[in-house]
Structure 1
Amino acid sequence: MHASPSSDPGPTGALPAWRLAAALGLWLAGWGALLLGGGRLDLANQALILLACGALAAVWLPVGLSIALGGLGTLLFNWRFVPPQGTFRVDGGQNLGLLLGMLLIHAEVALLLGAQRREAARARRHAREAEALRRWSERLREGDEEPLSLLPELGDQLHQACGAAVSVMAWPPGPRAPGAEPAGGDWAVAGEAGDDETRAALRHTLAEARPMGPGTGYHEGLGFWVLPLRGTRQAWGAAALRGEAVQAEAQALRLHLQALCDLWGAARQRAQAAADEQAARGREQAQGLRNALLAAVSHDHRTPLATILAAASSLETQGERMAPAQRQRLARTIVEETEQLGRLTDNTLQLARLEAPGLQLRLDWESPEEVVGAALHRLRRRWPEARVSGRTEPDLPLLHCDALLLAQLLDNLLDNALRHSPPEAPVEVLARRQEGRIVLAVRDRGPGVPAAWRDKVFEPFQRGPDGVVPAGHRSGAGLGLAVCRAIARAHGGEMRVRPRAHGGSAFECWLPVQPQPAGPEPMATNEAGGPA
């Protein structure tokens, strides 16, 4: 995609052989026609034959050579056909006008064809440059790579466009500080290593965000171009180009090279803006989560603590005067509120851990039957009277999971189901395979979740609409389902809630099925049937 200005062909030595041969063949054909049959034509028609051949030959010849051949042909025509023949003298003004007209027509045709070739070459160059800019823009816009990784490709684009030696220097990852240098001078570089003068010019251009060198109006005596990689109001890098194409007259080429550089600079600025936006969003989410956690600690922890304090104070001051049943009821209240406080604290800490970047899970192969069985065992120890049953499909594949997190997920779902269901309503936990995934579900016969809340219930600190908690049950802190969704997403899955046909809800955790581990190879046996 060489983009340097195309000019008319130069000396004959630079012409392709076929073009020179075709042009000379036309001239020879014209002279052959004149010598063989020109005696039957008048002088004007003979001149027309020579002009026609010269015009056709000018299509393939450079301007200078075409005018020279036209002038030589006119002199030979004067020698051979214009009276007095055999001399270069011209008798009569009419013949002189004919010869001058031939010279002018030869020159005009050559000049017009040369101008047309230059315009065609310029149009082709513009088309190539536009196509190069389009492809480069699409590469920067649609590629998944960070713009800094495409810096060597930018150097290749600039080199192919002008054939010059290219040195590129750009700001490293991170926001661009105006007038500052990166820590430790750790620039991102590509292309050829420049000398001290080149590196100084690159730094100056990066700071000033304006081109330098011949034809730029800024440090024109530099001897090479330095072009900024511009974004909005600042440069993200600079490119130095040394070569024959770097000259004050090649303004069109410099503008094309600057456009290539500016496309990269705009892409770099977009990438940095997206990174800044993501970082700001992360800080906002972290701040929002921190504020919400503090609100939960200050509000939701206070209720069980107050209950525990009141029950413990009653036992301390009036325990001797209480009946055994009263003391047992207060002790049971302390145990239940302490368990509630422990679950609330676990969920709060777990949500903060799961929302933190760089989370590492302790993954192992676990049986879905064991995960469901362990959840039921823990629940029955805590609530022996709860009407909870479990069911698993046979031959389920193993789960590659963090067993402690999945146990907490089922524990939260069961706690949520029992809290929002009447005491006599059954709750079921099951594991099945559906649509190529493992589904862990907890189903209840509670009031259900309104359609408008089926996405919101998994957000932190959303306790649901009024009326979903039966009388005598206390609403939770709104963290349990949020933790469930965070655990599911950490395993590459998702949480869903759907209404049941005869009332209630089914909370489902959809987990991917990973390639199963290879089983142990069968042990070799001897002839007696024992191990070999």
Structure 2
Amino acid sequence: MNRPAPHLQWLLAAAAPAAATAAGFALDGSMSVAGLAMLYLVAVFATALALDRAQGIAASLLCVSALNFFFVPPRYTFEVESAEYWWTLAVMLGLSLALNTLIASLRDRRERAETAAARAAELHALAEALARCEGGQAMAVFAAGWLQEKLGRAAAVFLREDGTLACHAAGAPPSAFNESAVRWALEHGRALGRGCDDWPDLSLWCAPFARSGSEGAVQWLLHPGERPAQDVQQHWLALARQAGLSIERERAAQAARAAGESARAEAARNTLLASLSHDLRTPLAGIMGTASALRTQGDAMPAAQRERLLGNLENEARDMALMADNILQLARLSQPQSELKVEWESVEEVLGAAVQRMRRRWPGTRIELKVTPGLPPVRAEASLLAQLVANLVDNAVRHGGEQPQITIRAGRSREGVFVAVRDQGEGLPPGDEQMLFERFERKPRDGAAGLGLAICRLIAQAHGGRIEAKRCEPGAEFRVDLPVAPHAP
């Protein structure tokens, strides 16, 4: 409860006994001295509730004095004629002082409890707000602004970064804060500044995140002449520790994530190298064998056989080129910061160009393209979309039987646009279809750890789409769904 200003409290301390005296004169003929004393006790109780302890005690003394002077015989003197009145006055004085002391004690306890609850709420609010930030620097910037707003003082959060102290300030420029004080606080692990035993002449207050091994500190600029009390400093220290705990936990989590990503990347590289060392042997062996046969026996070979060997050499080289493209795209799309060079692309044009290339690559394969007229354009990187289709067609040809027949369809879907590639071959192997898209997963049909389908899924996901495989009678179908913008041109 907000109490009046001190000068007004002194007026009320004098007005309460006066009001009780006026009421006593009005009831003087009908009440005894003991009854009139109750009027003054009511005034004592009211002033004890509304005023501070000093003003309440003063009001109690005035009430006892007024009762004695105006109503205890002999009246209008401070003399007391009998022991009964002495007892009445003594009991009234004791009750008044005890009542003031009790109420003041209860009020102090309530105020301390409210202050503790408010400070605990501030700590909780700071922790909740910092939990919504991402990154140690973002947390430091937010913490400085939050502390400046809540405490009404310019604040700064210092963080060690690459051997230097980075200052994230709010309410004042970074040059207004004392970096030397921060270094001393970090070295000694305790608070310093005005109100502390260390560096008490500084017009600031500074505390490290922790007593030892801390990577940062918090600093406040104090108002002129301000000297924070011990309980206020304890609350500031708790705020500094809470901010530091959140920031250092986030930085540790960032380091752990970076270490995990590095370990996963290293494991992926090792797996990729092991896979490539296996998968490259087949085309390399074919190229070397064909080249050796042409070099040693080329002049003696019939023209048809020489032409067939040259065709095999060209196909093996194309397989290696496709594998190299897949490896490069895998490395690119696996990076968290990878960005696509998207444009508005016509699905029909991208598929038409891809089909022409695949027909040249597989001249003995029947590749049919069916596109629904009027398809909206999609936001895509054309080369990636063409590579996705090429990988699906290449996969279909390899598993489409002796005389593959491939059908490529494109049309509208619930999400936007779909592209489906179907073959008439042996179909999907038993098991989970999604395992076909796992990188480095050994495919049961040929034993190779191919990357083509894994690249297809990465490309689809990079464009906001998805890919799935389903069994057909006969063969299998791979379908890619791509989103379409609401206002596509």
**TM score, norm. by length of structure 1:** 0.82
Distance 2:261 2:271 in 1: 15
**1:510 matched residue in structure 2:** 481
**2:455 matched residue in structure 1:** 483
2:158 to 164, 170, 189: 170
Q: Does 1:287 align with 2:266?
A: yes
- TM-superposed deviation, 1:305: 1.7
Contact 1:443 1:506 in 2 (8 A): yes
Q: Does 1:497 align with 2:469?
A: yes
Q: How many residues align?
A: 488
**2:311 matched residue in structure 1:** 332
Contact 1:140 1:267 in 2 (8 A): yes
**1:454 matched residue in structure 2:** 433
Q: Does 1:63 align with 2:63?
A: no
Distance 2:179 2:67 in 1: 64
Distance 2:203 2:404 in 1: 88
**2:181 matched residue in structure 1:** 201
Q: Does 1:80 align with 2:70?
A: yes
Q: Kindly tell me: are residues 363 and 222 of structure 1, through their superposed partners in 2, closer, same or farther at Cα, counting changes over 3 Å?
A: closer
Distance 1:436 1:157 in 2: 43
User: Can you list the C-alpha shifts for 1:430-481, whole angstroms capped at 9, x where unaligned?
Assistant: 112211321112122334335644233222222322xx34xxxxx6551111
Distance 1:48 1:29 in 2: 13
Contact 1:392 1:430 in 2 (8 A): yes
Distance 1:66 1:94 in 2: 26
Stretches of structure 1 that go unaligned for 5 or more consecutive residues are 1-5, 470-474, 519-532
**2:322 matched residue in structure 1:** 343
- TM-superposed deviation, 1:289: 3.4
Contact 2:144 2:168 in 1 (8 A): no
Distance 1:230 1:59 in 2: 43
- TM-superposed deviation, 1:416: 0.5
Distance 1:124 1:98 in 2: 38
Distance 1:447 1:208 in 2: 74
- TM-superposed deviation, 1:151: 4.1
- TM-superposed deviation, 1:279: 2.0
- TM-superposed deviation, 1:367: 1.5
- TM-superposed deviation, 1:515: 4.9
**1:522 matched residue in structure 2:** none
**1:240 matched residue in structure 2:** 220
| Secondary structure of the corresponding residue to residue 59 of structure 1 | helix
Q: Kindly tell me: are residues 477 and 72 of structure 1, through their superposed partners in 2, closer, same or farther at Cα, counting changes over 3 Å?
A: closer
Contact 1:226 1:238 in 2 (8 A): yes
**1:39 matched residue in structure 2:** 29
**1:113 matched residue in structure 2:** 103
Distance 2:28 2:429 in 1: 104
Contact 1:158 1:257 in 2 (8 A): no
**1:359 matched residue in structure 2:** 338
Q: Does 1:94 align with 2:63?
A: no
Q: Kindly tell me: are residues 499 and 231 of structure 1, through their superposed partners in 2, closer, same or farther at Cα, counting changes over 3 Å?
A: farther
- TM-superposed deviation, 1:161: 5.2
| Secondary structure of the corresponding residue to residue 171 of structure 1 | strand
Contact 2:135 2:251 in 1 (8 A): no
1:181 to 151, 154, 164: 164
**2:190 matched residue in structure 1:** 210
| Secondary structure of the corresponding residue to residue 156 of structure 2 | strand
Supply the AA of the counterpart residue of 1:312: A
User: Can you list the C-alpha shifts for 1:67-109, whole angstroms capped at 9, x where unaligned?
Assistant: 1122122122212222222221222333222222222211111
2:406 to 414, 418, 427: 427
Q: Does 1:418 align with 2:408?
A: no
Q: Kindly tell me: are residues 217 and 341 of structure 1, through their superposed partners in 2, closer, same or farther at Cα, counting changes over 3 Å?
A: same
User: Can you list the C-alpha shifts for 1:203-242, whole angstroms capped at 9, x where unaligned?
Assistant: 2223444323467665667675312234995242322352
Contact 2:136 2:248 in 1 (8 A): no
Distance 2:133 2:144 in 1: 19
| TM-align CA RMSD | 3.1
Contact 2:376 2:488 in 1 (8 A): no
2:39 to 27, 30, 49: 49
Distance 1:304 1:333 in 2: 10
Supply the AA of the counterpart residue of 1:480: G
Distance 2:24 2:249 in 1: 71
User: Can you list the C-alpha shifts for 1:352-379, whole angstroms capped at 9, x where unaligned?
Assistant: 2333454343333222112222222112
Contact 2:144 2:169 in 1 (8 A): no
**1:525 matched residue in structure 2:** none
Contact 2:133 2:139 in 1 (8 A): no
More deviation in 40-49 or 218-227? 218-227
Distance 1:263 1:326 in 2: 79
Q: Kindly tell me: are residues 158 and 330 of structure 1, through their superposed partners in 2, closer, same or farther at Cα, counting changes over 3 Å?
A: closer
Contact 2:367 2:408 in 1 (8 A): yes
More deviation in 313-322 or 381-390? 313-322
Contact 2:208 2:214 in 1 (8 A): no
5 Å matches for 1:249-268?
250-268=229-247
Distance 1:59 1:417 in 2: 89
Q: Kindly tell me: are residues 344 and 162 of structure 1, through their superposed partners in 2, closer, same or farther at Cα, counting changes over 3 Å?
A: closer
Distance 2:174 2:411 in 1: 65
Contact 2:208 2:241 in 1 (8 A): yes
Distance 1:368 1:153 in 2: 46
Contact 1:167 1:241 in 2 (8 A): yes
User: Can you list the C-alpha shifts for 1:405-431, whole angstroms capped at 9, x where unaligned?
Assistant: 211111110010111221245321111
Q: Kindly tell me: are residues 27 and 503 of structure 1, through their superposed partners in 2, closer, same or farther at Cα, counting changes over 3 Å?
A: farther
Distance 2:374 2:331 in 1: 35
User: Can you list the C-alpha shifts for 1:12-70, whole angstroms capped at 9, x where unaligned?
Assistant: 3265xxx966x766544432332122233332222222222322232112221121122
| Secondary structure of the corresponding residue to residue 207 of structure 2 | strand
Distance 2:397 2:149 in 1: 71
Contact 2:127 2:242 in 1 (8 A): yes
Distance 1:260 1:481 in 2: 52
Supply the AA of the counterpart residue of 2:75: Q
**TM score, norm. by length of structure 2:** 0.88
Q: Kindly tell me: are residues 508 and 158 of structure 1, through their superposed partners in 2, closer, same or farther at Cα, counting changes over 3 Å?
A: same
**2:361 matched residue in structure 1:** 382
**1:12 matched residue in structure 2:** 6
**1:530 matched residue in structure 2:** none
Distance 2:380 2:178 in 1: 56
- TM-superposed deviation, 1:398: 0.8
Q: Does 1:192 align with 2:172?
A: yes
